[in-house]
Chains A and B, each alone.
Chain A
């Protein structure tokens, strides 16, 4: 069966520090991969998605970037965090041409 791993679960970082969140998927090949952000009390905002290695599409302009160095690995990064980057970050995957998303357990990021 397919599983998705996301870490760390919580992270506290100072303003201006770098960020690296990692997500891996097991049990499937060539998944579509996604990074979402969820602000407190709000819905999910799509940040990035990837349909293949090295292919990244950005949905919103921001201080973050994403990379997909391997088929089942998706990384969310920032060179310098802002206070507004605080939030709950979720990695997700879907099958090819399949709308159903499967989410990771999330990372609660607090930028202080």
Chain B
């Protein structure tokens, strides 16, 4: 079936670097995308989302880019901090009366001081 996947299972960066986490999706009907951050032993925390009518959206230190042509989503974290260390999940869905988010397996981000 349709699925969301991630290119890199683990990403190691130095504090202060910019991080880029990538995600590929296969459902061309998906029109909503979201990134979550999950720290060990905790529930996923919403970071940023984007609809398919946009190709870029910025938040505080984070930017999500959407390339519908190649079905690719990325999360950019500026000036990465040790507190950013976590697993990051992308998810996609089609609009419906309830959440149909399909999650990828996640990418571990490790930030060294």
Contact = CB atoms under 8 A, between A and B. Distances in A.
Q: Report whether chain A binds chain B.
A: yes
Nearest to A9: B41
Interface residues of A, number: 24
Interface stretch (A11-19, A62-70, A74-82, A100-108): A100-108
Given A90-B43, A105-B42, A105-B43, A51 B98 contact: yes
Contacts of B46: 100-102
A103 B99 contact: no
A106 B43 CA distance: 6
B105 A32 contact: no
Contacts of A98: 99
Interface in A78-112: 90, 92, 94, 96-106, 108
Contacts of A32: 98-99
Best-buried of A41, A43, A105, A106 by chain B (most CB within 10 Å): A43
Interface in A40-70: 41-44, 49, 51
A63 B33 CA distance: 31
Given A43-B89, A43-B106, A44-B89, A101 B42 contact: no
20 contacts: A34-B99, A42-B106, A43-B89, A43-B106, A49-B99, A51-B97, A90-B43, A94-B98, A94-B99, A97-B96, A99-B32, A99-B99, A100-B49, A101-B44, A103-B36, A103-B43, A103-B45, A104-B43, A106-B41, A106-B42
The 9 closest A-B pairs by CB, nearest first: A103-B43, A43-B103, A44-B103, A43-B105, A94-B99, A32-B98, A99-B93, A99-B99, A106-B43
